[in-house]
């Protein structure tokens, strides 16, 4: 597939049109802010409920606001004057978080409910919603050798409890706002996005970051063992952050993808055991493995069927997992040693 140039995307935007990005103190949205800033867009409003010092990235010249968008008044303020709204705000994390805090995950529906209504009332041109592969029917994901999931596999609905159901009903909001009210909406189902400038400790980190941290800790402490959640046979595909933000841009500015959920993920499937081996190789260490069969594990297998995205965009995420993991490992290793030395972690 030929990757189109970023400048070749017809965004129908002026450089000074206001772009609003929510969840911007977090991983993917923070990268998306930087992406549009680096393209030369001069008016970007970045919003997150976290205090500004806790944001992963803050970019000079970007309007940064601390707001809880679960409150209606804040959602209205957030989208004032917006040409485009990118909703990536959600209370979520890795499997440990979304299995144990389902109520918090479900409550994220308030963000999308208030924000999409406010965006429509404000006259926004486009609204992007960040969905997830967790919307897919869990009955189709009981085998590590799972067939890749295509977009229609979300129905009949049997989503991941909590987080998956919240995302699926929010997708429906986006579809109905287009059908009934004419707000142009776009929906991407993320498949395990990873990379630098994301959560890597504290309980909300996802598998690639958690494994990198555990390998780095084992090397540093000399305790050459690693705990793996489950038996290591579960399989996933992982999408590198650079592919993800480019994909968001392309999906949001494609007329064929209005109100149409689409996979945004890699088709490169790997088991957790093999992912650990990959990170061990990057770190130059071999660790004894302890399997915690009582830990949250998620579905047995999940992979992205990219037939649809290739047919519409002539593109799919293509960063090889090893290349992306090297970049991720190196960034986390620097963060780890800076934190150990008592340095304030620089997030830029």
Query: Tens digit of pLDDT for each residue in 273-292?
Result: 999 999 999 999 999 999 99
User: How confident is the model at residue 66, as a pLDDT?
Assistant: 97
Query: Tens digit of pLDDT for each residue in 161-197?
Result: 878 899 999 999 999 999 999 999 999 999 999 999 9
User: How confident is the model at residue 118, as a pLDDT?
Assistant: 98
User: How confident is the model at residue 96, as a pLDDT?
Assistant: 66
Q: What is the DSSP letter of 194?
A: E
User: How confident is the model at residue 141, as a pLDDT?
Assistant: 85
User: How confident is the model at residue 7, as a pLDDT?
Assistant: 57
Question: Nearest CA to 32 among 121, 128, 105?
Answer: 128
Strands 269-271 and 235-237: antiparallel
Phi, psi of 153 (to 5 degrees): -75, 0
- All structural domains of the chain with their residue ranges: 17-195+239-267+306-319
Which residues are part of the catalytic machinery? Answer: 163
- Residues (pLDDT < 70) of the chain are 1-7, 92-98, 100, 105, 344-348
Residue in this structure with the two tokens 């030369």, named with its chain if needed: 40
User: How confident is the model at residue 211, as a pLDDT?
Assistant: 96
Question: Architecture of 17-195+239-267+306-319 per CATH?
Answer: 3-Layer(aba) Sandwich (3.40)
Q: Which contiguous run of DSSP H or E holds residue 86?
A: strand 82-87
């Amino acid at each position: 597939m030929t990757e189109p140039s970023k400048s070749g995307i017809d965004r129908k935007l002026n450089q000074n049109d206001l772009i609003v990005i929510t969840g911007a103190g977090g991983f993917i949205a923070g990268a998306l802010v930087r992406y549009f800033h680096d393209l030369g867009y001069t008016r970007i409003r970045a919003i997150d409920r976290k205090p500004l010092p806790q944001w992963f990235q803050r970019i000079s010249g970007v309007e940064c606001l601390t707001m809880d968008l679960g409150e209606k008044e804040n959602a209205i303020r957030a989208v004032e004057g917006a040409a485009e709204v990118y909703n990536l705000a959600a209370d979520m994390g890795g499997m440990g978080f979304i299995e144990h805090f389902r109520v918090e995950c479900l409550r994220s529906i308030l963000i999308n409910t208030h924000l999409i209504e406010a965006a429509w009332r404000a006259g926004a041109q486009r609204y992007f919603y960040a969905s997830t592969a967790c919307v897919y029917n869990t009955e189709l994901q009981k085998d590590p050798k799972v067939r890749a999931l295509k977009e229609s596999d979300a129905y009949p609905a049997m989503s991941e409890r909590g987080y998956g159901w919240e995302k699926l009903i929010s997708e429906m909001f986006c579809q109905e706002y287009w059908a009934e009210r004419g707000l142009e909406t776009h929906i991407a189902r993320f498949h395990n996005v990873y990379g630098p400038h994301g959560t890597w400790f504290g309980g909300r980190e996802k598998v690639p970051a958690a494994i990198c941290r555990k390998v780095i800790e084992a090397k540093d402490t000399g305790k050459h063992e690693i705990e793996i959640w489950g038996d290591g046979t579960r399989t996933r595909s992982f999408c590198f952050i650079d592919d993800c933000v480019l994909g968001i841009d392309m999906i949001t500015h494609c007329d064929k993808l209005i109100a149409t959920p689409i996979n945004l993920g890699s088709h490169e499937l790997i088991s957790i055991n093999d992912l650990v081996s990959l990170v061990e190789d990057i770190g130059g260490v071999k660790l004894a493995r302890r399997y915690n069969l009582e830990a949250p594990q998620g579905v047995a297998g999940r992979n992205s069927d990219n037939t649809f995205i290739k047919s519409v965009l002539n593109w799919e995420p293509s960063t090889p997992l090893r290349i992306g993991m090297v970049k991720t490992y190196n960034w986390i290793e620097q963060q780890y040693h800076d934190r150990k030395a008592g340095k304030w972690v620089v997030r830029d």
